[in-house]
Homo-oligomer: A and B are copies of this chain.
């Protein structure tokens, strides 16, 4: 609610077009009155710039379909993560434009073409096992209106692989790096460029990788600055953060 809307309501009261009681009802939930609507998503879109996202894991197909229907009814692009084929079919039965991104296990429905910032997001993986997480990040960033390119399998065990791509790394507006096992790649990348790195540890590994904890700790302890870390395997979170950074200053 903008100041203008507030003044208009109050003006309605002064002009007796609106009873104090009716105005009170309108104002009761301020500054979150709009949140009282069944249309939760609408508000989130306004507040955060993107509607709610459906995290499918642990939800039934029926629940997913029901949430998707509600979200689609308010426009805005739809993103469902950790989605299986059943979830895809359910969403597709609601809207034919639904796409399934198998590698990243996401469903998207692009209802509106968002304006794309001039900059680009580069998604990098240390190994092929990290690609599903990277794909989740890529799909997330794309549906949020970003241009995304990818660079796979450039982990530090062959350090030249990433070094010879340093000009590509430098050209991106923000770089998402997904890495499991030792998780050292984000630190190497951050030390090569002057743009932010979004580091996403993956659970790829065995033994003392402890489900991604080793990679997570490596990224948090990186000597190189300029790295923001997200949760293990959280490709969505990485793509979302990268999108916010990429859209960032330009929108101002």
Contacts and interface: CB of A to CB of B under 8 A. Distances in A.
**Which of A59, A174, A228 has the most B CB atoms < 10 Å from its CB?**
A228
A220 B181 CA distance: 9
B29 A27 contact: no
A158 interface: yes
A73 interface: no
Given A1-B36, A159-B188, A249-B250, A227 B227 contact: no
B241 A221 contact: no
Interface in A85-102: none
A49 interface: yes
Contacts of A157: 187, 190-191, 222-224
Contact of A196 (B221, B233, B245): B245
Each complex incorporates copies of this chain amounting to 8
Contacts of A212: 207-208
Contacts of A215: 221
A150 interface: no
A151 interface: no
A7 B13 CA distance: 11
A219 to B, nearest CB: 8
A6 interface: yes
A175 B16 CA distance: 41
Interface string A1-20: 11100110011011010001
A14 B11 contact: no
Contacts of A21: 7
Contacts of A72: none
Contact of A184 (B6, B218, B230): B218
Contacts of A207: 201, 203, 211-212, 216, 220-221, 231-234
Given A10-B13, A244-B226, A252 B206 contact: no
A35 B232 contact: no
Closest 9 CB pairs of A and B: A228-B228, A35-B160, A207-B232, A184-B184, A32-B160, A10-B20, A49-B194, A225-B240, A214-B217
Interface of A: 1-3, 6-7, 10-11, 13-14, 16, 20-21, 23-24, 27-33, 35-36, 40, 43-44, 47-49, 53, 57-59, 63, 117-119, 126-129, 155-161, 163-164, 166-167, 173-174, 181-184, 187-188, 190-196, 198, 201, 203-234, 236-237, 240-241, 244-246, 248-250, 252
